[in-house]
A = this chain, B = another copy of it.
Amino acid sequence: MKLATLKNNTPDGRLVLVSKDLARVADVSHLAPTLQYAIEHWPSLESALQDVDRALNNGSLDTALPFDPSAAAAPLPRTWQWLDGSCFLSHGELMQQAFQLEPIDDMERIPLVYQGAGDDFLGPCDDVVLPGDEYGIDFEGEFGVIVDEVPMGTTAEQALDHVRLITLLNDVSLRALGPREMKTGFGFVQAKPTTSFAAVAVTPDELGDAWRDGRIHLPLNVSWNGEWFGHPHAGAMNFGFHELIAHVAMNRRLSAGTVIGSGTVSNHDRSVGSACISERRAIEMIDFGEIRTGFMRFGDRVRISTTLPDGSELFGAIDQRVVAPPAT
């Protein structure tokens, strides 16, 4: 199933099912008003949602309406907990090599994760409003999972049973503010403003074989102002999502609806490009001894998407601009 949330002037929006071709939506608010509600009540809702989904996809649902991604919020417009990993080792290695950063102990053994702000996610076509474009505005193309309630102490072996949905996101980052916040040891606050999501979150079965080993074996396609930027493959994730979940649930319960991100997708093969600007800059530094690419400026647009092996769009694209605050 593909699920999305349409904006309706409430903080949590209105849940809909989206057809596999992303063309039509079915209202399911009589079953579950919001995605948060659906995740909290999944076992009792799943079969009724599947009935609507079948009718939507075989064309027998008279009430289906066209799907407009720009009317979509993030699948979860806000969540009680948002954790983001950095699980592609080639990304960290490039950053360390280019900028002579100290290596992080046990990076191959213990997942790197930061706690983010989940109170205010953006939809796929929403503008990213930032106070200035001098802070090194960057995108980070990532995959993520949305879990139901995960008890404290859940093991990696048990963790995948809690993955309800898979999602695609843009972890917007302000690179000029990151190094200082990292150096304090307290992690990112100002360096990680609000995160954006593709319209559609999908149940794992929508990925077929591409969902295995707790990883999403698909490329993540990024373009910046209409030009190809990269298509790294997410199968290279050093930890599976099951290991990420077990790591963060070691001594805490994860509420239903917790979102966990993979970190920017990155491969050792440089020909596939990157999913964030800072990695391209690191490669330039290594290859040319100088940085040739600037960060995003107001008005710039990033597009992030992924396709299944048959060429079909899975989540719909994140396609958004970064902009200044409206004049007051």
Contacts and interface: CB of A to CB of B under 8 A. Distances in A.
Nearest to A258: B119
A142 to B, nearest CB: 15
Given A131-B250, A255-B120, A187 B152 contact: no
Interface string A162-192: 0000000000001000001111111111100
Interface of A: 11, 78, 80-81, 83, 86, 104-106, 110, 112-120, 129-131, 135, 152-153, 174, 180-190, 193-194, 247-248, 250-255, 258, 325
A235 to B, nearest CB: 23
A184 B119 contact: no
Contacts of A115: 114-117, 187-189
A139 to B, nearest CB: 15
A81 B119 contact: yes
A187 B252 contact: no
Contacts of A113: 186, 189
A135 to B, nearest CB: 8
A118 B83 contact: no
A104 B294 CA distance: 28
A254 B189 CA distance: 12
A210 B58 CA distance: 66
Nearest to A191: B251
Contact of A184 (B112, B189, B248, B252): B112
